[in-house]
Amino acid sequence: VAAGGKLFNVVVDTESTGKQLLEKGDLRKRVTIIPLNKIQSYVVAARVQHAASRL
């Protein structure tokens, strides 16, 4: 099983939690912190979904 660089994506609840983790977490590798409060959703139009399902 190959996971590549995805093992170093860390999902946290808020950006302040991510900041604390960076400051006090003693991380040994380079990681990408993804705060859930900053993720924006995007709704794909129904016609685009239909076109994709036909592929």
Whether this prediction's pTM lies above 0.75 is answered by no
What is the structure's pLDDT at 36?
Answer: 96
Domain ranges of the chain: 4-53
pLDDT confidence bin for 1, thresholds 50/70/90: low
pLDDT tens digit string along 2-48? 666 667 889 999 999 999 999 998 888 888 999 999 999 899 999 99
What is the rounded CA–CA span in Å between residue 31 and residue 23? 13
Beta strand pairing status for 9-12 and 32-35?
parallel
The tokens for 37 are 């409060």
What is the structure's pLDDT at 49?
Answer: 96
